[in-house]
Structure 1
Amino acid sequence: MVCYNFVGGGSGIGRATCQVLAREGASIIAADRNIKTAEDTVSQLLDKKENEHCSVHIDVSESKSVKEVLQEVLRKYNRPPTIIVNCAGITKDNFLLKMSEQDFEDVVNVNLKGTFLVTQTFAKAIIEKGLNQASIINISSIAARNGNIGQSNYSASKAGVELLTKTAAKELAQFGIRCNVVIPGFINTPIVNTIPPELKNRFIANISCKRMGEPQEVAEVITFLASEKSSYINSASIEVCGGLLSL
């Protein structure tokens, strides 16, 4: 794996994915809206290949920011990354009847529009450079399957990510670009840690494995989809949820 671009690499599943891919020899570009957390991610990579790894600021909801990151990557590596992982995501939870239009738009703009902009921008660059093997892995959520109380915006945005990925897989396969989606369940991340303990325990009771997943467990699946070991996997949706029975 020559070059890797990670969007949302500052924490949680994003940081774990950077670490696992670096372990496998990838050059890491940790992109995050919070540049400090992205820098921290790069500083924690075990191999410390400072000239090969870097961190960049990105606002995935703005096409100008996404295009600027692409240009920065091209200046540093002289080629676009052949592995793209879209993990940037936010939540602004509320009941449907109380949710503001702004909170709905903000979540959709980051989670769904952001995935679209990054996928489109970097896929174009890959095609223009004539690279014939690339992998795009987008991150959805188990909440996209059945919805979740208080998360109409988040559930809808993540459902959109799954269908966006499947459509992209059909359109981009002719250029050697595979697109797959990973669907995490209840994972031990900063977002999950904001949930009250009693609600967290209720969720865990509905998981067959009777525990939360760890970010590295999701990262290992992402790394598999990024590698040649998954060369015939395209348009797949892979749940990493410990056998979640219901939300």
Structure 2
Amino acid sequence: MQAAQETLSLLPNGTDHLALQMDVTQQRAVEEVMAAIRERFGKPPTLLVNCAGFFERTPVVEMEESSFNTAIDVNLKGTFLMTQAVTKAILADDKEGEKEGRGAIVNIASISGKTGFPGASHCAASKGGVVALTKSCAAEMAR
């Protein structure tokens, strides 16, 4: 969080920006951050970049279930929770007639999501899920 605060201090018009920290694997944390954004700016974000990530090199035969779960939770579930929260907020604003209900969501995946990666099958699987999630959400939200 200290690095985010330092970056914030370097930006012009610092009050136009907000540094927040959360655990993207927890829906409640995501909801709290969304509430803080709305409280501060009066509207939801119009840009989301999902870039939280977990990477660990472990051969599949040595991998603990907890490592697999962490990769799925951070890389895929976190992307889902953030995407869902921001999309709902943007659509809610659009329904209220604010006409600013448009936004963009950028999900950072990895080539390993398409090709696999030796020693990181759990991470590759989660990033493949991010690719599929992104395509599905884009098809749902395209207007």
TM-score, structure 2 normalization: 0.92
Q: Which moved more, 1:113-122 or 1:88-97?
A: 88-97
Aligned to 2:6: 40
Matched, 1:165 2:131: no
TM-score, structure 1 normalization: 0.54
Which of residues 138, 144, 165 is equivalent to 2:107? 138
Deviations 1:196-241 (CA, angstroms, capped at 9, x unpaired): xxxxxxxxxxxxxxxxxxxxxxxxxxxxxxxxxxxxxxxxxxxxxx
Matching residue's letter, 2:57: D
Higher helix share: 2
Deviations 1:34-67 (CA, angstroms, capped at 9, x unpaired): x22322332343xx21110110011100000000
- 1:94 counterpart SS class: coil
Which of residues 23, 27, 30 is equivalent to 1:66? 30
**Per-residue deviation, 1:98:** 0.2
Higher strand share: 1
Which of residues 49, 54, 57 is equivalent to 2:21? 57
Of structures 1 and 2, the one with the larger relative CO (CA 8 A, separation 6+) is 2
- 1:60 counterpart SS class: coil
Aligned to 2:97: none
Q: How many residues align?
A: 138
Aligned to 1:79: 43
- 2:15 counterpart SS class: coil
Structure 2, gaps ≥5 residues long: 95-99
Which of residues 114, 119, 124 is equivalent to 2:78? 114
Instruction: Kindly report which structure 2 residues correspond to 1:155-194, keeping only aligned pairs within 5 A, or say none.
Output: 155-174=124-143
**Per-residue deviation, 1:70:** 0.2
- 1:41 counterpart SS class: helix
- 1:137 counterpart SS class: strand
Deviations 1:82-126 (CA, angstroms, capped at 9, x unpaired): 111101111122000001000110111011000000000110011
- Asked whether the 8 Å contact 2:59–2:118 carries over to 1, the reply is yes
Output the aligned Cα RMSD.
Answer: 1.1
Structure 1, gaps ≥5 residues long: 1-34, 175-247
Give me the identity figure in percent: 38
- Asked whether the 8 Å contact 2:92–2:101 carries over to 1, the reply is no
Deviations 1:154-209 (CA, angstroms, capped at 9, x unpaired): 111111101100000011123xxxxxxxxxxxxxxxxxxxxxxxxxxxxxxxxxxx
